[in-house]
Amino acid sequence: MRELYRADLERLGRDLTEIARLVHRAVMDAQAALEAADVHGAERVISEDARIDQLQESLDEQAVRILALQAPVATDLRTVVATLRMSSSLERMGDLARHVAQLTRLRYPEHVIPEPVRTVFTAMCDAAVEVAEEVVLLLETQDLAHGDRIDALNEDVNALHVSVFRAIAAPDWSATPATTTDVTLASRYLERFTDHGLSVAAKVRYLVTGEWATHRPDATGS
């Protein structure tokens, strides 16, 4: 019985990492579609988000089953509860990558991002992709150096997010209201994406150290 219990816990970890890998792929594809105004790539991101949702639902069902039938305590309880919360953050990251792809589909064949801020969005997307990659590595290894990198990348994205709003508010901003809305939304999606990556990192840090780093914000927003 205990061997089955340990196997169930290990499966939770594997499934969580698999969701993270799918999120990494989703944000990479969303960036490629956004930058190339590729409607087919955008459609792929949108349709494949269902796989992330299905895996998250299955993982959550496994975790609830373990809580109900095995009544884990101490470290195991922390692991199961943290896994539930991390799966929610990862699912939301998948949703945010999908939202970026939906903007691409909405504005096709035009580009979503106007020329004046494309360099900023390239940097934001690159950072979001790296955050997703670091989340995968963090879950695979529990090496907290990956968590530190996520923290740094999140700070970079926050600064870029602010710069987008400064650009929109500048006197020489001449984009249409629709484009301005798209730029605002895209920036928000990417900023929230890295926030949720930071939330996952905080949960792993807690599991490894047993301490909750209260100075690290927890991404609980949508």
Q: Domains in the chain, please, with CATH?
A: 1-209 (1.20.58.220)
Residue with tokens 């895209």: 186
Residue with tokens 């709003």: 165
Burial of 206 (0-12, 13-18, 19+ CB in 10 A): middle
Tens digit of pLDDT per residue, the chain (222 long)? 567 777 888 899 999 999 999 999 999 999 999 999 999 999 999 999 999 999 999 999 999 988 887 777 778 888 999 999 999 999 999 999 999 999 999 999 999 999 999 999 999 999 999 999 999 999 999 999 999 999 999 999 999 999 999 999 999 999 999 999 999 999 999 999 999 999 999 999 999 988 776 544 444 445
Query: Rounded to an integer, what distance in angstroms lies between the CA atom of residue 27 and that of residue 31?
Result: 6
Write out pLDDT tens, residues 51-91: 999 999 999 999 998 888 777 777 888 899 999 999 999 99
Angle at 191 between CA 153 and CA 114, to 5 degrees: 105
Residue 41 contacts residue 100 (beta carbons within 8 Å): no
In 37-143, alpha helices (H): 39-70, 74-107, 118-141
Write the CA distances from 48 to 36, 97, 129, 164, 218, integer angstroms.
Answer: 19, 11, 17, 29, 27
Write the CA distances from 211 to 63, 77, 150, integer angstroms.
Answer: 22, 15, 18
The pTM for the full model equals 0.92
Q: What is the pLDDT of residue 217?
A: 46
